[in-house]
Amino acid sequence: MEQSMVQTQTARLLREPMSDVDIARNLKWRRMKNFMFSVVGLLTLLFAICTLLALFIDLAMTGVPRISAEFFTNFPSRFPEKAGILSAWVGSLAVMITTAVVAIPIGVAAGIYLEEYAPKNFFTKIIELNIINLAGVPSITFGLMALGLFVYKFKFGQSILTAGMTLGLLVLPIVIVTTREAIRTIPNSIREASFGLGASHWQTIQHHVLPYSSGGILTGVIISLSRAIGETAPLITIGALTFIAFLPTAPVSDVFPYVSFQWLHDAFTVMPIQMFNWVSRPQQEFHVNAAATGTVLLVMTLLMNGVAIYIRYRFRRRMKW
Amino acid sequence: MSELKAFTSANHPTRRWRKIKDRLIETVLFLAACSSVFVTMGIVYVLVSESLPFFENVSFTEFLTGREWTPMFSDAKFGIRPLVAGTFMATFIAVCVAIPLGTIVSAYLSEYLKPSAREILKPVLELLAAVPSVVYGYFALLFVTPMLQKIMPNLGGFSILSAGIVMGIMIIPYVSSLSEDAMGAVPAHLREASAALGSTKFQTTLRVVIPSAFSGISSAYVLGISRALGETMVVAIAAGMQPNLTLDPSEPAATITAFIVQVSLGDLPHGSIGYQSIYVAGLTLLVLTLIFNILGMWIKNQIQEKE
Amino acid sequence: MSPQFEIPTTSTTKFNLGVQSDFLRSQVKNLSFSYNPKDKLVLKNVSLPIFDKKVTALIGPSGCGKTTLLRCFNRMHDLYNEVSYDGEILLYPESKNILSRDVDPMEVRMRIGMVFQKPNPFPKTIYENVAYGLRVRGIKKKSYMDEKIELSLQQAGLWTEVKDRLHAQATSLSGGQQQRLCIARALVTDPEILLLDEPTSALDPISTSHIEELIVELKKDVTILIVTHNLHQAARCSDYTAFMYLGDLIEYGPSNLIFTNPSDKRTENYITGRFG
């Protein structure tokens, strides 16, 4: 009885909603909206990419004519046409090396622990949550921490060592997260095969997990260094000088013990700080120097990112589980 | 053969050594994992311990309610409001740029582009986030501001507006990349179900993909906003460094971060009021970021619970 | 005069059209399909009639192309790139070729509903799930929607179970209920043909029998095309059966004939369980 009632109601409603004309009109309007969104989406994407291009072209047009061999071999100067970025690029290089030495071993080790060893407990949760939150902490806060701790408490001074450690800790979360992601792509069957042959946990990691995830880890390392090379604020906070007309102590010398780590304790400046210094000056000529420094900086970061993308792409194609 | 047999016995020295080595390595790795916790503790400890002396000289009420922030003047005033206002305004403008554009771009990347095109365009877009912020500062001051001045002739050389806009463009990839990941993770069968009912791609995106991915998209928003709150160089270069309690984005104003940079550039004796003031400012920034992140997490949980 | 199904001359299929009193709702004509232009054909020159208000079952071993054929009816392949196909699916009464590039896939999907292998409710409420098809068509009238949603839930045999919790999350339903919800969702827009892609493969026996009863009930209103792995299911609820093997349509005929007296050796081997 109830069923038949349903049937008649169905019959009544079946034809009601739309005639063919309605369908055509409805379709036309909906397709229109869909088309409009695809245009808006494309335009937005183009806008973002064009901004990147505009930024690059604007910088290069002003800066490239200024770039010459002297620009790399001169110290900064009061005379804009004589000024160069020698101390800045050497400083950047020294800071990068220190950053890498701090961030890579700690970051990779932490990533391995969290993926391979960490028990599923409260403390592990805390570590994981902490890493996520650390990635969201403003970079200038790291500078403040380093100023209070490394500069004044540990008395490292406003040195390359302090700078490298600051940036190393700043990019640590990036290294940890990318290491974990790289390790996670390795299927468990590989580990089981290794354990099955009697390998210890560390041997499994050493012989299988690390080699197979090295591409991903390398990508993370490069990305984190490219982030560090452009960081300015934390280094200003720890008191990096903006005007440096000397180089750090050479790491090798001809007197015993031939190798010196004195450079770690030297004052420094880096390329982004040099650029900031020049862009903050009112004179147009210094803006040209800033643009030239910016071009160098931008080319380096884009190159590093390009290499990282390439490695990631290669590895993803090679490693098919 | 006999050696192999001996090795399997539990007391064989090689085997014992292997066990010890494994434990040792695990401990080292564990310490490395704990390093991030030490860093957090270090940050909180330094910020709090260096800020405490500040409040011996300045009352908490003055700090929160004062309308002027001039710690380096002889007639020093310590009201944080101008800095917080500047920070919020710059962030607000950046968010107004980044969230709509980032969301549209991520929907377009995820739903409208072929995988091959997406594979190329997504990394290109991410390059926007790789550009050093000091370069963005240059761009804001010497490219965007002059361009805006053509539209708004009375805009000064420094303004929160151009700094905010450039910051917004800078964080588009933070918003779009994570959002796109979230949309990409929406199972294909939901898209098929929606398409099978006769909806357009746009309707599927708007009514099925975005709602299903909203939890991930909201994380992307939170990350983008955190970035904007803590961004330093763009505002330090393009917005001027004058603390200014205003709601007019065309005026110059300082953010918390810009103030820290400004003070750090000068000579800063340990323990001076200027030194303490940057820690107070830093602590304020950290607390704001934290409140914001907790708020974001709470909203996300609310959404998830409703589902 | 209704259109008649004419067996194409190039077809190798063994057809048994039974009593020719049924009206043709749709027919497939010489359809070939591949997922990648360089790949092998997944469907080879398939021709098939679909009769109005009847249940047509597509059976065959895994990888024989039956799901691919079903998805062609809804232009699902247009969601993905790189597929290529050739041939026609005509939809009557106006004999429109729904595979034609000039025909909007959305128009096709507005007329032909589909239910998938795994229940795939949207992460929305029960009500919103069913309402979705109406909403994408721009219908906003609340009273009409309420009535329509109730009806289709009744048709799907789910109404009594969910009428008190229409605003609960669809994911809170059991697997069988979810699948009936997906059927209701497809029915709400009055499709002319309903496509069912192994609708019970992810379900328990009791839910399966619910859905089978439902299929028999539904064919009073709508033409049904069902892909199934379950031969008993095909025998129980279909009027016509098509047996496919490696992309070929081997045999087509009334279900009782196919299952009792197949004319092709491969069909016989399959239904007697010698492979598949």
Tens digits of pLDDT across chain B (307 residues)? 444 444 445 555 666 777 788 889 999 999 999 999 999 999 999 999 988 888 887 787 777 887 778 777 777 778 888 889 889 999 999 999 999 999 999 999 999 998 888 888 988 888 888 899 999 999 999 888 888 888 888 877 888 899 999 999 999 999 999 999 999 999 989 999 999 888 889 999 999 999 999 888 998 999 899 989 988 889 888 888 777 777 777 788 888 998 888 888 877 777 778 888 889 999 999 999 999 888 888 888 887 776 5
Residues near B100 by Cβ (< 8 Å), separated by ≥ 6?
none
The answer to whether C120 contacts B189, with C-beta atoms less than 8 Å apart, is yes
Distance of residue C98 Cα from the nearest chain A Cα, in angstroms: 15
**Residue C20: closest CA among C59, C47, C52, C56:** C52
Q: Which residue of B has its CA nearest to A106?
A: B32
**Cis peptide leading into A257, omega within 30 of 0?**
yes
| CB-CB under 8 Å, C109 with B196 | yes
Delimit the domains of chain A by residue range: 2-62, 69-318
Q: What is the pLDDT of residue A259?
A: 67
Is there a contact between B105 and A41 if contact means CB atoms under 8 Å apart?
A: yes
pLDDT in tens, A262-304: 777 787 888 999 898 888 888 888 888 889 899 999 999 999 9
Check residue B183 and give its pLDDT. Answer: 94
Cβ-Cβ contacts under 8 Å between A and C: the total is 37
- According to the model, what pLDDT value does residue B266 have? 78
Give residue limits of the domains in chain C: 23-266
Q: How far apart are the first and last CA of chain B?
A: 63
Is C76 part of the contact surface with chain B (CB cutoff 8 Å)? Answer: yes
Q: What is the DSSP string of A6-27?
A: HHHHHHHHHTSS--HHHHHHHH
Chain A residues within an 8 Å CB radius of C136: 30
ipTM over 0.90: no
For testing contact with chain B, the best of C68, C120, C148, C183 (most B CBs within 10 A): C120
Taking the mean position of all CA atoms in its chain, how far away is CA B249? 21
Q: Give the integer Cα–Cα distance in Å for A33 and A46.
A: 20
Chain A residues close to C137, C-beta within 8 Å: 17-18, 26
Query: How large is the angle between the packed helices C175-187 and B188-196, nearest 10 degrees?
Result: 30
- Contacting subunits of C (3+ beta carbon pairs below 8 A): A, B
| CB–CB contact C123 B212 (8 Å) | yes
- The pLDDT of residue A16 is 47
pLDDT at A138 over 80: yes
Asked if the C-beta of C182 comes within 8 angstroms of chain B's C-beta atoms, the answer is yes
- In chain B, the residue whose alpha carbon lies closest to the alpha carbon of A39 is B108
Q: Which pLDDT score, from 0 to 100, does residue B101 have? A: 95
Q: Which residues of chain C have pLDDT under 50?
A: 1
Measured distance CA(A125)–CA(A122) in Å, rounded:
5
Residue B184 C-alpha, separation from nearest chain C C-alpha, in angstroms: 14
CATH of domain A69-318: 1.10.3720.10
- CATH class of the domain at C23-266: alpha beta
Q: CB C154 to CB A6 under 8 A?
A: yes
Most C CBs within 10 Å, among B191, B194, B197, B306, to test the C interface: B197
Does residue A35 contact residue B201 with C-beta atoms inside 8 Å? no
